[in-house]
Amino acid sequence: MEVTNMFEEQINGKCPFETTVKLLGGKYKSTILWALRDGALRYGELQKRISQASPKMLAEQLNEMIEDRLICKTIYPVVPPKTEYCLTSFGEAAIPLLQIMTDYGRSYLEANASEE
């Protein structure tokens, strides 16, 4: 089996690996996707689950993810306005990758628990 450099492959002049890192590598993007894996959440619910994110940072990350078509935003015409965020098919496709990352992190933490 031939091993190629992952940075050599180009699609429309862009590297698939670097694209994945850009899409999921924002400060809270992976955490947002993980929080939405079980269904739509309102902004306040996301803010509670990702309490370390400032409201400004969370809003910026959500807007970037909407622009990248990883999540969608639905605004319901009620008073006060109700806004929900949910995964798109591209966002859902990232969940298995995030599960692998979670499993890897768990293994690392368990293996290094005695060092703390």
Every domain of the chain and the residues it spans? 17-102
pLDDT in tens, the chain (116 residues): 455 566 667 777 778 888 899 999 988 999 999 999 999 999 999 999 999 999 999 999 999 999 999 999 999 999 988 999 999 999 999 999 999 999 999 999 999 987 65
Of 104, 30, 43, 97, the closest CA to residue 74 belongs to 43
pLDDT at 17: 86
Give the pLDDT of residue 115: 66
Cα–Cα nearest to 61, from 36, 18, 28? 28
What would the DSSP string read from start to end of 35-98? HTTTS-EEHHHHHHHTTTS-HHHHHHHHHHHHHTTSEEEEEE-SSS-EEEEEE-HHHHHTHHHH
Q: What is the CATH number that goes with domain 17-102?
A: 1.10.10.10
